[in-house]
Amino acid sequence: MWKRLAFLSSFRLASSTSLGDLYKASYSLKFYQLFSTESRDLEDDCHASKIKLPWITFVLGGPGTGKGTQCQRISQTFGFTHLSAGDLLRKEMSSNSKDGKMISALIKEGNIVPSEMTVRLLQEAIKSSQSCKFLIDGFPRCNENRVAFEKIIGVEPLFVLFLDCPEDIMVARVLGRNEGRLDDNLDTVKKRLEVFSNLNLPVINYYYEKGKVQRISALGTVDEVFEKIRPLFSSFSRFQKKEEQKLSN
Ligand code: UDP
Ligand code: MG
């Protein structure tokens, strides 16, 4: 089980950071602070890594930019656990509970589900996982989501992968994907695009100001986009190994 850790590092990625230098010295592990009062050895929590905290990357972008597809590729290649906020909500929705009905109504309108619900689902998924490295796909959707995540989970993302794509391509991809989703229709897509620019972009801007955004053009084939993403995570893997070596010395 994973315990609550606060990530107080003054982690900085310059927006223009060259890929190879992504994780250079600006990252400092010494500021990790354990908030848990549990006495159990941290070793139990994150046995895959000697670094006892979850590494979190948010993967953001409008509908149809390929967040889910690219997250699958990243997790297969780099061993991250992929948590799609939308998939967790859809799973909850199919439970037919009172919450399920509310979620379904909000998704159908392209609106954002209350933060406490999404953060609870993410928290449960993180806690029940043995993994240390999470890609959180499609979340935070608004600044209120972000604040709730920081407050409840207590961890900041390492960086934010922003898949950027022109609107007409997003619409064409969503309408062409045919996965039987109740929000993959033209009316809802238009609303989702509005919500994206009004509420989601401010979150991306927030992280951009903090130097944490890595923007990748989502144009091209799945392979082409993944090849643009790959160096970010290769660089992270090298960084992670070094930090683990330091800790085991
Ligand atoms: N959603 C939400 N909060 C989240 C993630 C998703 O409320 O953190 C809802 C919202 O209604 C959104 C829908 O779920 O429009 C679908 O989100 P998903 O990320 O699955 O869509 P994608 O962007 O991948 O097409
Ligand atoms: Mg998705």
The secondary structure of 36-74, three-state, reads: CCCCCCHHHCCCCCCCCCCEEEEEEECCCCCHHHHHHHH
CA–CA gap between residue 59 and residue 103 (Å, rounded): 21
Residue 94 three-state SS: coil
Which superfamily is assigned to 15-241 in CATH?
Answer: P-loop containing nucleotide triphosphate hydrolases (3.40.50.300)
* Residues around ligand 2, an ion, CB closer than 5 A: 67-68
Measure the CA–CA gap between 158 and 235, rounded to whole angstroms: 12
pTM equals 0.83
Hey, is 5 helix, strand or coil? Answer: strand
Of 119, 133, 123, 125, nearest in space to 77 by CA: 133
Whether residue 34 is predicted with pLDDT greater than 90 in this model: the reply is no
Question: What is the reported pLDDT for 52?
Answer: 53
82 contacts 183 by C-beta, under 8 angstroms: no
Centre of ligand 1 from the C-alpha of residue 149, in Å: 16
Task: Quickly count: other Cβ atoms within 10 Å of residue 42's Cβ.
Answer: 17
Ligand 1 atom 11: the closest Cα is on which residue? 107
Which of 183, 199, 200, 204 to probe ligand 1 with, by most ligand atoms within 8 A of CB? 183
Per cent of the chain over pLDDT 70 is: 79
- What residues does ligand 1 touch, defined as CB less than 6 Å away? 63-64, 67-68, 85-86, 89, 106-107, 110-113, 118, 138-139, 141, 145, 183, 192
Alpha helix segments (H runs only) across 55-200:
67-78, 85-93, 98-108, 115-127, 143-153, 167-177, 186-195
- Bridge partners (DSSP) of residue 57 are 135, 159
Q: What is the pLDDT of residues 163-172, one digit of tens each?
A: 999 999 999 9
- The DSSP-derived string for 214-243 is EEEE--S-HHHHHHHHHHHHHHHHHHHHHH
Contact 78, 233 (CB under 8 A): yes
Nearest CA to ligand 1 atom 23: 63
Considering every ligand atom shown, identify the ligand nearest to the alpha carbon of residue 175 and give its number: 1
Quote the tokens at residue 173.
């991809």
Q: Are 31 and 10 in contact (CB under 8 A)?
A: yes
86 CA → ligand 1 middle, Å: 4
Least confident of 8-12, 61-65, 102-106, 204-208: 8-12
Give the Cα separation of 89 and 93 in Å (integer). 6
Q: How far apart are CA 36 and CA 39, in angstroms?
A: 8
User: In a mutational test of the pocket of ligand 1, which residue from 192, 198, 201, 204 has the highest number of ligand atoms less than 8 Å from its CB?
Assistant: 192
Q: Is pLDDT above 50 for 32?
A: no
- pLDDT above 50 (res 22): no
Phi, psi of 71 (to 5 degrees): -60, -40
Lowest mean pLDDT among 44-48, 67-71, 203-207: 44-48
Q: How remote is the CA of residue 112 from the centroid of ligand 2, in Å? A: 14
